[in-house]
């Protein structure tokens, strides 16, 4: 988080964060023949978790995107393919001072397009426009994280720890140096 908002690291060094996600308003739902679209407005409140387990508010983000699915029906089942429009983030309020959300927005859009949506659709993450990832044979974490984290790392770096743990998400969250971009 230090790269995205240096003020957080200065005010709450080495403290874990908690995110509370809630609907800011009722989502807009659009139903047309063969297609369903949903446009939610979501608030994301970030907190630092203090030593006594209390929460210190950091900032409030607003996120908006359009989620749609093309629906197909056969005599035995209904299927769909999910699409996600670009996520738009805005900083609604900050208790740590102003900061740009552009990098965070880019990371979230990259993750959604290359990992989340392909998984939901039952595809191999890392596939782009019908072509397999150039990193064939790697797990999706190994194929995508070098681009997010700034290149190949050797020795005791993230790549080795990624292979040694099944819970890599927690490890990347806890060890702040892992997310320096």
Q: 107 lies in a domain?
A: no
Statement: residue 97 has pLDDT above 50: yes
pLDDT band at 59 (very low <50, low <70, confident <90, very high): very high
Q: 72 lies in a domain?
A: yes
Q: Same domain for 92 and 3?
A: yes
**How far is 167 from 181, CA to CA, in rounded Å?**
21
Q: Same domain for 128 and 89?
A: no
Q: 86 lies in a domain?
A: yes
Q: Same domain for 66 and 146?
A: no
Pick from 50-59, 71-80, 81-90: least confident: 71-80
User: 67, 101, 135 — which closes off a domain?
Assistant: 101
Q: Same domain for 60 and 147?
A: no
Q: Average pLDDT in the 103-115 region?
A: 89
Statement: residue 99 has pLDDT above 60: yes
Please report the pLDDT score of residue 7 as a whole number: 86
Which residue would you say has higher pLDDT here, 140 or 98? 98
Q: 119 lies in a domain?
A: no
Please report the pLDDT score of residue 159 as a whole number: 47
Q: With b meaning 16 or more CB within 10 Å and e meaning fewer, what string describes 100-124?
A: ebeebbeebbeebbbbebbeeeeee
Structural domain containing residue 84: 1-101
Does the predicted model carry a pTM greater than 0.75? no
Q: Average pLDDT in the 51-71 region?
A: 92
CA distances in angstroms from 159 to 26, 37, 172, listed in the order given: 41, 38, 11
Residue with tokens 């988080």: 1
List beta partners, residue 131: 128
Please report the pLDDT score of residue 180 as a whole number: 35
Q: Same domain for 38 and 95?
A: yes
User: 66, 101, 136 — which closes off a domain?
Assistant: 101
Q: How many domains does the chain have?
A: 2
């Amino acid at each position: 988080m230090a790269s995205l908002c240096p003020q957080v690291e200065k005010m709450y060094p080495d403290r874990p964060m908690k995110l509370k996600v809630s609907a800011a308003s009722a989502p807009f739902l659009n139903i047309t023949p063969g297609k369903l679209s949903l446009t939610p407005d979501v608030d994301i409140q970030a907190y630092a978790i203090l030593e006594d387990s209390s929460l210190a508010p950091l900032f409030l983000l607003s996120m908006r995107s359009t989620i749609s699915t093309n629906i197909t029906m056969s005599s035995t089942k209904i299927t769909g393919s999910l699409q996600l429009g670009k996520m738009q983030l805005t900083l609604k309020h900050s208790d740590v001072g102003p900061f740009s959300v552009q990098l965070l927005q880019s990371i979230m859009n990259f993750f959604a397009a290359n990992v989340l949506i392909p998984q939901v659709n039952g595809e191999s993450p890392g596939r782009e426009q019908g072509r397999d990832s150039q990193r064939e044979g790697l797990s999706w974490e190994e194929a995508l994280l070098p681009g997010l984290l700034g290149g190949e790392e050797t020795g005791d770096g993230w790549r080795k720890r990624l292979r040694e743990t099944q819970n890599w998400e927690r490890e990347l969250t806890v060890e702040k140096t892992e997310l320096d971009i």
